[in-house]
Amino acid sequence: MTHSAFTAPGRFFRGNLHTHSTLSDGALDPGEVCRRYRDEGYDFIALTDHFIGMYGYPVADTKRFRGNGFTTIPGAELHSGAMENGELWHILAVGLPADFAPANAPHFLPVDGQETGPEIAQRARAAGAFVAVAHPQWSGLTLSDARSITAAHAVEVYNHGCAVGTDRPDGFHTADLLMSEGRDLSLIATDDAHFKDPDHFGGWVMVKAEENDPDALLAALKAGHFYSTQGPELHRVEVEGRHLRVRSTAVERVIVQGQGSAAVAHHGHSMTDTRLEITRLAASPWLRVTVVDRAGRRAWSNPVRTG
């Protein structure tokens, strides 16, 4: 059984799904943000400014910045309602229509009468967006909070801006617990770039699609036809009976994780075709793969459902 990201038709396109500009609290205007990502070798980005009243509820029109092999997907970071810690929800919505109706979210504090986080996430998904729970560790998200976002396609498992600014980049614990409860989720790495700190070009998705087109990319994201990375490339993830085979660019560690404490690892040098026995993970309903290269950079597969 080979993960569908590697058997789907098309090729891989590199993109960032979480980016801010001067339309909200970013340092650069939308055109300059797009230029920098394009010139750094990205195939696409989603500009996801904060969808709150103090910024005019922006869904950036970035069509004019497309061309020369580079495209954009409209989106926003949605805010409405309070999490269990009393702070405002952060929900990533990629592929959001320009006419998405604003919530009652005047600023970065919860107010009475707002939609809840689960409600605005559901409304975004119904409008066609790819929905992700943003930076769970940074937000102080509880498991109860995470369970409530039933509309999510994904969890943001690595956020480079949160890594640089707060050393709270992680969402794997949240994603693993939800997957162990039966949730069908994918895992995204992003920048959450504001360009006020070195918070850019640190984590991205590689999306398998037939065209570098917003609709094709969005469909592939929803189907889970991608992996996330800080640099290493994944070429294939395949379950072969009691073994799992990983083909990649040269790495020094390959780790397979499953439910609970289940995990196995293989260490070596310049490994590009690695086969691991996964008997220890036989009871896990899902598996995911992490590879680590010589510089310590990681890539992460989406989960493979085994039961």
DSSP 259-295: STT-EEEEEEEEEEEEEEE-GGGTT-SEEEEEEE-TT
2 — pLDDT class (breaks 50, 70, 90):
confident
Cα-based distances in Å from 208 to 67, 169, 216: 19, 25, 9
- In the predicted model, is pLDDT for residue 188 greater than 80? yes
- In the predicted model, is pLDDT for residue 6 greater than 80? yes
Among 177, 204, 144, residue whose Cα is nearest residue 18: 204
Tell me the percentage of the chain whose pLDDT exceeds 90.
97
Q: In the prediction, which pLDDT does 202 show?
A: 98
Tens digits of residue pLDDT in 52-80? 999 999 999 999 999 999 999 999 999 99
Q: How far apart (Å, rounded) are the C-alpha atoms in residues 140 and 67?
A: 39
Q: In the prediction, which pLDDT does 3 show?
A: 86
Mean pLDDT throughout 260-281? 97
Mean pLDDT throughout 213-239? 98
Q: How far apart (Å, rounded) are the C-alpha atoms in residues 248 and 243?
A: 16
Tens digits of residue pLDDT in 121-180? 999 999 999 999 999 999 999 999 999 999 999 999 999 999 999 999 999 999 999 999
306 — pLDDT class (breaks 50, 70, 90):
confident
Q: In the prediction, which pLDDT does 7 show?
A: 95
Which residues contact residue 182 at a Cβ distance below 8 angstroms, ignoring those fewer than 6 apart?
285
Strand partners, 189: 158
Mean pLDDT throughout 195-220? 98
In order of their start, the domains of the chain are 4-228 (3.20.20.140), 234-305 (2.60.40.10)
| Tokens representing residue 254 in the block | 């390959």
- The answer to whether 59 and 74 are in contact (CB under 8 A) is yes
| Tokens representing residue 268 in the block | 């070596």
Q: In the prediction, which pLDDT does 63 show?
A: 97
Per the prediction, the chain carries an average pLDDT of: 97
